[in-house]
Amino acid sequence: MRVICYSTKSVEKNLLIKANKEQHDITLISNALNIKTTSYAEDKDAVVVFTSDDVTAPVINKLSAFGIKYILTRSVGTDHIDMKTAQELGIEVANIPAYSPQAIAEQAVALALALSRHLILANQQCHHYNFSLDHLVGFNFYKKTVGLIGLGHIGTATASIFNGLGCKVLGYDILQKNIAHIEFVDLDKLYRESDIISLHTPLTPETRHLISEASLLKMKNGVMIINTARGDLIKTTDALSALKSGKIGYLGLDVYEYEKGLFFEDHEADEVRDALFSELMHFPNVLISPHLAFLTKEALAEIATQTINILDHWEKS
Ligand code: NAD
C-alpha cells in the first residue's frame, strides 16, 4: 500500500519504520496536512494523520480527487475529521481506539498530584535556594472524592489509580456502566460532591463546553479540574473567570481549546502570542502540559504497531 504519513514527529519515525518492516511504501513527512499539502498524497492509497491535521471537508474532497481510499488517524479521538464527508466520498476512516489508556490516565493523575503538592513552584524555589514552606501547603488525596466524566478506556484506567490513592470515585457516562469501585452518578451529583473532576469523554457537539459557567456553578468552591481529553470540553474564558473568583482552585490541562496551530511546535520567537493562554499561565494554580499525555515509549510503540496493522488489514480487504 502507498501511504503518506503527515505530522510525523521525530520521536515516532523510527518506531513506524521498525513496525512497517518494509511492507508498505510509507512516506513520512513532518508537514501537517492542510489544503496546500494535500499534493503529497498524489498517487497514494492511504493518508495517515494526527490530531493537529486539517481533515475538514475541502481537504478530504481534494484527497478523494487524488484517489485516496483510506484515512487513518494515529489517535483515539476523531473529532478533527469530517466523518460525514469521508463517508459520502467512500473513504474509509480508522483510528487507534486503545493504544495505552494508562499513559493518559497517569498524566491526568500526575497533573493532579503536581498541582496539589505545588511541585513546580517547590522546584523553582529550590533552584533559587529558597527552601521556605510558606506557599507550599498541599492536600491529601486520601478520602477525597474524585468525579470522572467519561468511563471508557481512559476514565476506567484513571479510576484505578485514584482508587489506589484511597479516593472515593464517582463516575458519569452517557452510557450506564457498572464498574467495580466506581459509583455511577448523574452529572449534577458528580459536580456537587467532587473535590477533583477529571474529563475523559470524546469531543462531540454534546461535550463541547461541558465545563462552562453553568456547570461550574454546581461545583464545590476550590474544585480541581483536570482535562486530558480535548480542549474544547472547557470554555476557557469561563474557566479563567472561575480561577479569578476562586471557584476553580486548581486547573490541570494537557489540552487547550485553541491549541491547533500552537501546540506541537516551538513558538518561543513569535511576536504575537495567544493572550488567553498567557493569562492562564499567569496563575500559580494552573498547570499545563502541551498535549503529551500519549507521549510515553509504550504508547508510541503501540501506536506505530497498530498503525501498520490497520494498513495491513486494508491491503488485504
Ligand atoms: P473511549 O471511547 O474508550 O471512552 C469515551 C467514553 O466517553 C465512553 O465510555 C463514552 O460512552 C463516553 N461519552 C461519550 N459521550 C459522552 C457524554 N456526552 N457524556 C459522558 N460520557 C460520554 O475513549 P478513551 O480512550 O477513554 O479516550 C477518551 C478521550 O481522550 C478521546 O476521545 C480523546 O479525545 C482523549 N485522548 C487524549 C489523549 C491525549 O494525549 N491528551 C490521548 C488519547 C485520548
For ligand 1, is residue 254 a contact (CB within 6 Å)? yes
The span from the CA of 108 to the CA of 239, in Å, is 18
Q: Per-10-residue mean pLDDT for the chain, 317 residues long?
A: 97 97 97 97 98 97 98 98 98 97 98 98 98 97 98 98 98 97 98 99 98 98 98 98 98 97 94 95 97 98 98 96
Q: Are 128 and 149 in contact (CB under 8 A)?
A: no
**Residue 1: CB partners within 8 Å, gap ≥ 6?**
24, 25, 45, 46, 311, 314, 315
For ligand 1, is residue 74 a contact (CB within 6 Å)? no
Distance of CA 250 to the CA centre of its chain: 18
Per-residue pLDDT, 73? 98
Q: Are 15 and 26 in contact (CB under 8 A)?
A: no
Nearest atom of ligand 1 to the alpha carbon of 172:
20
Grid coordinates representing 214 are 453553568
**Top mutation candidate among 75, 76, 156 for ligand 1, by most atoms within 8 Å of CB:** 76
The span from the CA of 95 to the CA of 294, in Å, is 14
Residue with the nearest Cα to atom 5 of ligand 1? Answer: 152
The span from the CA of 284 to the CA of 120, in Å, is 9
The candidate with the shortest Cα–Cα distance to 50, out of 317, 303, 315, is 303
Q: What are 174's strand-pairing partners?
A: none
Per-residue pLDDT, 215? 98
Per-residue pLDDT, 178? 96
Q: Are 219 and 197 in contact (CB under 8 A)?
A: yes
The span from the CA of 209 to the CA of 196, in Å, is 18
For residue 234, how far is its CA from the centre of ligand 1 (angstroms)?
A: 14
Per-residue pLDDT, 127? 98
In total, the chain counts a number of residues equal to 317
For ligand 1, is residue 290 a contact (CB within 6 Å)? no
For residue 155, how far is its CA from the centre of ligand 1 (angstroms)?
A: 8
Sheet (strand 25-28) strand order: 25-28, 2-5, 46-49, 70-73, 92-94
Per-residue pLDDT, 14? 97
The span from the CA of 15 to the CA of 297, in Å, is 10
The span from the CA of 281 to the CA of 266, in Å, is 16
C-alpha distance from residue 67 to each of 86, 111, 165, 180 (Å):
12, 43, 52, 48
Per-residue pLDDT, 52? 95
Half-sphere exposure for 230 (CA within 13 Å, toward CB): 22
Residue with the nearest Cα to atom 14 of ligand 1? Answer: 201
The span from the CA of 146 to the CA of 226, in Å, is 11
Per-residue pLDDT, 156? 98
For ligand 1, is residue 140 a contact (CB within 6 Å)? no
pTM: 0.97
The residue type at 101: P
Query: CA quadruple 253, 255, 260, 266: dihedral positive or negative?
Result: positive
Q: What are 94's strand-pairing partners?
A: 72
Per-residue pLDDT, 58? 98
Per-residue pLDDT, 224? 99
Ordered domains of the chain (ranges, CATH):
2-99+297-316 (3.40.50.720), 101-288 (3.40.50.720)
Q: What are 46's strand-pairing partners?
A: 3, 70
Per-residue pLDDT, 160? 98
For ligand 1, is residue 149 a contact (CB within 6 Å)? yes
The span from the CA of 198 to the CA of 225, in Å, is 6
